[in-house]
Amino acid sequence: MDTYARFPVELERGRGVWVWDSAGKRYLDCVAGIAVCTLGHSNGRLKRALSHQLGKLQHVSNLYRIPEQEQLAAAITNRSCLDRVFFCNSGAEANEAAIKLARKHGHVVRGIEQPLILTAQASFHGRTLAAVTATGQPKYHQGFEPMVQGFRYFPYNDTAAFEALLNQCEANGPAVAAVLVEPLQGEGGVIPGDPAFFRRVRELCDEKHILLVFDEVQIGVGRSGDLWGYEHLGIEPDAITLAKGLGGGIPIGALAVKQAVDHFRPGEHASTFGGNPFACRAGLTVLAEIERRQLLKHVRAMGVLLQEELAKLVSRHPGLLEGSRGWGLLQGLVLRPEAPSAPEVVKAALAEGLLLVPAGTQVVRFVPPLTIKPRHIREAVKRLERALITLA
């Protein structure tokens, strides 16, 4: 079905940060399947680990213990502030699990009959019905009403407005079960969270026993230069959702929670494919490679280099470009309102052999494989500059 306005390009194979189309043209991939291909394309370790797993066991039901799933859960909990993990297959599905958990938290812990969940304007949480309702962007709701009940929206990074909404919701007693928020807004325009805002949100959630859930589907698993986005904000969430980068290209999602808010009991939530041996082997390999290759340090260095190169680009084209922002290898180049739109820039970059993705109409997003090298970053910015010149 025509759910995507696709470019007329057939991508056929990839290696590292490069992909080739069916006509043989080569592209430098700064999209990585939208922050998915953590280790780049056709990574040798991932290929070997998955081939081995295919020869052993691909899928069994969650009716039985799955060692790979238990190992991946341990790999996540040993490296984070979280204690328990539910596995599924996508970001939206992970957020659905978080939304159900939040509602149960509202019933059980706060005694609320009709619990509310607060999410941010310009957020993105996925396209299933509850996840898209959580998404604070009316354009994604259009045509799909009625939306799911029980969501309210606050302006991101705005402490006063957040407190006002919370007070309004709780004027007649407990009403809010959870806050679901991205530590850095990805799709909404690459907007980093403000630590002062998040500290206050944490305080208020602590006071009232409101669940604080971070959607780390895009920023999590090393992309920020720390393993988890919350590490940039100096606070701990009660739960996080993961997907995109966790499987390095194999579909997997996860909800990881602190022990104290592990409210699910057997039979209350499920996913047939969730946490199968194949997907979990992919997740284990991605986490092991991040560690073995010291990719967090690498991402921090590459993030700084990309920021520097983008700053130089901005200074060469002040009429078109406003600046750049982001953490690690999730960076956004902000276009001036009078400049060509982000989709136009992305299209021109494609012609120059560079894959980029918009984040809204005015921001061009870089989310390359975490393995990208300095020469690729310089080449990407060079190709982007050529594209900008063709548009000028």
Ligand X SMILES: *Cc1c(COP(=O)(O)O)cnc(C)c1O
Instruction: Kindly list the residues in this chain that would bind ligand X in the complex (CB under 6 A).
Output: 90-92, 95, 124-126, 182, 186-187, 215, 217-218, 243-244
Nearer to ligand X, 217 or 284 (CB): 217
Cβ distance to ligand X smaller for residue 124 or 198: 124
- How crowded is residue 191: how many other Cβ atoms within 10 Å of its Cβ? 21
Phi and psi, residue 100, nearest 5°: -65, -45
Beta-carbon count within 10 A of 209 CB = 15
Half-sphere exposure for 323 (CA within 13 Å, toward CB): 4
Would residue 226 show up in a list of annotated catalytic residues for this protein? no
Please identify which of the residues 238, 244, 258, 366 carries the catalytic annotation: 244
The smaller minimum CB distance to ligand X, of residues 221 and 321, is found at 221
Please say if 215 is a catalytic residue: yes
CB of 319 to ligand X, least distance (A): 31
- 124 catalytic per annotation: yes
Q: How far apart are CA 217 and CA 254, in angstroms?
A: 9
Q: Please state the closest distance from residue 121 (CB atom) to ligand X, in A.
A: 14
- For residue 89, the minimal CB distance to ligand X (Å) is 8
Containing H/E element for 178? Answer: strand 176-181
* CA distance to 172, 187, 264, 346, per residue, from 233 (Å): 31, 19, 28, 31
Query: Active-site residue among 86, 87, 124, 366?
Result: 124
Q: Count of alpha carbons within 13 Å of 383, Cβ hemisphere only?
A: 22
3-state helix, strand, coil in the chain (%, to 5): 40, 20, 40
Query: For ligand X, which is the closer residue by CB, 33 or 150?
Result: 33
**Of 87, 162, 215, 366, which one is the catalytic site residue?**
215
CB closest to ligand X, residue no: 91
State in angstroms the smallest separation of the CB of 253 from ligand X: 6
Instruction: Return the active site residues.
Output: 124, 215, 244
